[in-house]
Amino acid sequence: MSSSRSSQSRQSSTSPNITEDQIIDLISKLQALLPETRIRNTDRASAEKVLKETCRYIKKLQNEVEDLSEKLAELLTLTEETNSAQASVIRSLLM
Amino acid sequence: MHNNKYLKENPNQPLLAYHFIQALTRINLAAHTTSTKQRSHIIKHAAYVSMAFAAGNKRTWTHAVLHNRFPIKTRFHRLSGSRRSFIVSLSRNKETLHQAHLLRSLVPGGHAMEFSSLLMETANYIQYLTAQVRLMQCIVEKFDMHV
């Protein structure tokens, strides 16, 4: 963080004096985590876009967790009779 | 809490894998007593618990996952908290307010956070969600190789 932001690190996150700059900085950091980087600027209009994309991305990830849980549930059924194969998979993952 | 701490941390993937695979082993032992649908719910719950364990107790979202069960049913709306620190210039845009509200519903414990915390917690949550998805994909692939 630049020295002009040093006061920010001393403030707790519950302080009501969060500046707009800090929020914009946080939003751009969030944007960096999103897969698509269509949004270039970090002005007020794109803050809304980042939030929107973030919501969409989170929903997508949560749906993936749900789908993968279903897949794993089925796979555990299949390997019920072959627990040795199961154990070897687990072992190979832990290595 | 420093902003950097939230965003520079890389998800603890070994810890994540450890917790999740332990859970899967337990679930597998009881597989003959559960339907596929039940098992899928249990696995999904185990996924979020593993994420919360691996991310640690210092995050609000992990606390919400571990104590309230996910998906989080917000029993109370702490709207005063969400309004207090919302930047005036941002909040003039109704759409931004709306998106922020949606985000609060998606992130565990989101409704009780101040806006700046919400942004930091969201970033951390996304990091762990992606790590969890990758872990589960990896496990599914391993199964496909052996079965």
- pLDDT tens per residue, range B78-96: 444 444 455 555 666 788 8
Nearest chain A residue (CA) to B41: A69
- pLDDT tens per residue, range A35-80: 866 555 555 558 888 999 999 999 999 999 999 999 999 888 765 5
* Cβ within 8 Å, pair B107-A58: yes
Query: Residue A3 class from Cβ within 10 Å (0-12 exposed, 13-18 middle, 19+ buried)?
Result: exposed
What counts of helices (H) and strands (E) characterise chain B? 8, 0
Give the gap in angstroms from C-alpha A13 to the nearest C-alpha of chain B.
6
User: Which candidate from A30, A65, A89 shows the least CB-CB separation from B143?
Assistant: A89
* Residues constituting chain B: 147
Nearest to B20 by CA among B145, B147, B128, B146: B128
Which one is predicted more confidently, B102 or B28? Answer: B102
The interface predicted TM-score (ipTM) is 0.82
